[in-house]
Chains A and B, each alone.
Chain A
Amino acid sequence: MTIEFLVDIVLLGLLALTAIAIHKTRDLFASIMLTGIYSLLSALFFIVMDAVDVAFTEAAVGAGISTLLMLSCMPLVKKQEQPSRHHRPLGLVVVTLTGALLIYGTMDMPPFGSVDDPIQQHVAPRYLHQSMDEVGLPNVVTSVLASYRGFDTFGETVVILTAGIGVLALLGFRRSRAQEMQHRVPAMQQHMILRIISKLLIPPILIFAFYVQFHGDFGPGGGFQAGAIFAAAIILYTMLFGLSTARQVFRERYIHLLAAVGVLIYGAVGIASMLAGKNFLDYDALAANPLTGQHVGILLVELGVGITVAAVMIIIFYTFSGRLDKDDHKEPES
């Protein structure tokens, strides 16, 4: 067997070990870190399975943003989780049954990795062989994501917006405390070196985000990934320089608007093609030459996705830290 097989097996083994370790440890902080590792490993696995775009997203969203969000909740949490008072045998039974059913299901699965599987036969070949003529982008994942199945992606952008609305509705209030903290000394004052390094790094990160946004047609990348990277840069800034400083640079009100604007851009592209007499999200209608239309459509749509994702991630992080940064007023420890 090949080296790829080896990598595959080792990664899957490590994933299983990590999952068990998460189950075993009672230290919540360690569990969160291990979940980060789990994401990291699964993203590596995605690369081995040729899913570079997915790996990109999992790295940015799963290992990055998700872990950061979990961590920002930590101040609330007791470090150790309580041992559960009653044993739950029922859970074990349910899981065993479900697992047995799944294993039973694998018995008739088409062989792993074979070209003759039904999954490789019916719908997918058209994407691989004709998308170049129909959409005109080398990255097939982007073509399918933004054009063939563009409506899914629209729905997904709305999901993100919904989450943002939900977090705001749940945590976005209690303004008085936030204002009270306006003039306090920001967190992480004492980490001079980190702050200087980060100051140095934030501009390249932002440039990288733009590169990912607009290079998504040709390589791995696109709106989600770019949005997440952009948000990560802002989050880095917020963590080091404090929420109140960050709020002055990136005003909350505008970010709220941007979250809505991203979805509206996406929808507007769809409606524009409807007004031009075609179906919703049919980018052919956007220009005289269908291929140009597809390019314009995908560019705009990815932009909308990027804006919403970045804005919502920032909103969520702001809201969490606004709620939880009880130490924002700590004096620096010399």
Chain B
Amino acid sequence: MTVLLDLLSWVALLLGSFFLIVGSVGLLRFPDFFTRMHAAGVTDSLGAGLILFGLMFQVDGQWIVLFKLLSILFFIWLTSPASSHALAKAALHHNQQPLLGDEVRNRKQAANE
């Protein structure tokens, strides 16, 4: 039983870590605000979720810890999309336009030259 739980933890934590790093790389490398936002979303939903799930397999009978982990997860999943939504809306209102198609390529070329 413990071995199975440990295995599940391993998988969840590693996958979560992977998504975290992928999301962060995206946050750093993507060309404009809206694509970065997309990358950030990966961190908040999948990364956080998987890591917290991984921890939940390790609570070892302390139900209060499980409850706290669950409430953190609930909290993140509730607030993170809400604030992303508000942020995107504010950005749009303030004339932040997403880069489309050719613009991305043009900008990249400009950066390379």
Residues of A within 8 A of B (CB): 191, 193-194, 197, 200-201, 204, 333
Residue in A194, A204, A333 whose beta carbon sits within 8 Å of that of B82 in the complex: A194
Cα–Cα, bound, A197→B78 (Å): 7
Q: Does B29 contact A (CB under 8 A)?
A: no
Provided the pairs A193-B85, A193-B86, A194-B86 are in contact, do residues A333 and B78 lie with their beta carbons within 8 angstroms? no
Contacts of B93 in A (CB 8 A): 333
Write the chain A residue with the least CB distance to B71.
A204
12 extra interchain contacts, Cβ-Cβ under 8 A, other than A194-B86, A197-B82? A191-B86, A193-B82, A193-B85, A193-B86, A194-B82, A194-B83, A197-B79, A200-B78, A201-B78, A201-B79, A204-B71, A333-B93
Chain B 71-100: CB-based contact to A (< 8 A → 1; otherwise 0): 100010011001101100100010000000
Cα–Cα, bound, A191→B93 (Å): 13
Cα–Cα, bound, A333→B89 (Å): 12
Identify which of B82, B89, B93 gathers the most chain A CB atoms within 10 Å of its CB: B82
Cα–Cα, bound, A204→B79 (Å): 13
Contacts of B82 in A (CB 8 A): 193-194, 197
Write the chain B residue with the least CB distance to A205.
B75
Top-3 shortest CB links A-B: A197-B82, A194-B86, A193-B82
Contacts of A194 in B (CB 8 A): 82-83, 86
Contacts of B78 in A (CB 8 A): 197, 200-201
Cα–Cα, bound, A200→B77 (Å): 13
Cα–Cα, bound, A204→B93 (Å): 32
Identify which of B71, B75, B78, B86 gathers the most chain A CB atoms within 10 Å of its CB: B86
Can you give 17 contacting A-B residue pairs, CB < 8 Å?
A191-B86, A191-B89, A193-B82, A193-B85, A193-B86, A194-B82, A194-B83, A194-B86, A197-B78, A197-B79, A197-B82, A200-B78, A201-B75, A201-B78, A201-B79, A204-B71, A333-B93
Cα–Cα, bound, A333→B83 (Å): 19
Cα–Cα, bound, A128→B93 (Å): 56
Cα–Cα, bound, A204→B70 (Å): 14
Contacts of B75 in A (CB 8 A): 201
Contacts of A197 in B (CB 8 A): 78-79, 82
CB distance from B80 to the nearest CB of A (A): 10
Cα–Cα, bound, A153→B34 (Å): 47
Contacts of A333 in B (CB 8 A): 93
Cα–Cα, bound, A197→B75 (Å): 10
Cα–Cα, bound, A43→B93 (Å): 34
CB distance from B104 to the nearest CB of A (A): 25
Contacts of A193 in B (CB 8 A): 82, 85-86
Write the chain A residue with the least CB distance to B85.
A193
Contacts of B86 in A (CB 8 A): 191, 193-194
Contacts of B83 in A (CB 8 A): 194
Contacts of A200 in B (CB 8 A): 78
CB distance from A81 to the nearest CB of B (A): 21
Write the chain B residue with the least CB distance to A191.
B86
CB distance from A56 to the nearest CB of B (A): 14
Identify which of A197, A200, A204 gathers the most chain B CB atoms within 10 Å of its CB: A197
Contacts of B71 in A (CB 8 A): 204
Chain B 50-64: CB-based contact to A (< 8 A → 1; otherwise 0): 000000000000000
CB distance from B94 to the nearest CB of A (A): 12
CB distance from B74 to the nearest CB of A (A): 9
CB distance from B48 to the nearest CB of A (A): 16
Write the chain A residue with the least CB distance to B83.
A194
Write the chain B residue with the least CB distance to A333.
B93
Contacts of B89 in A (CB 8 A): 191
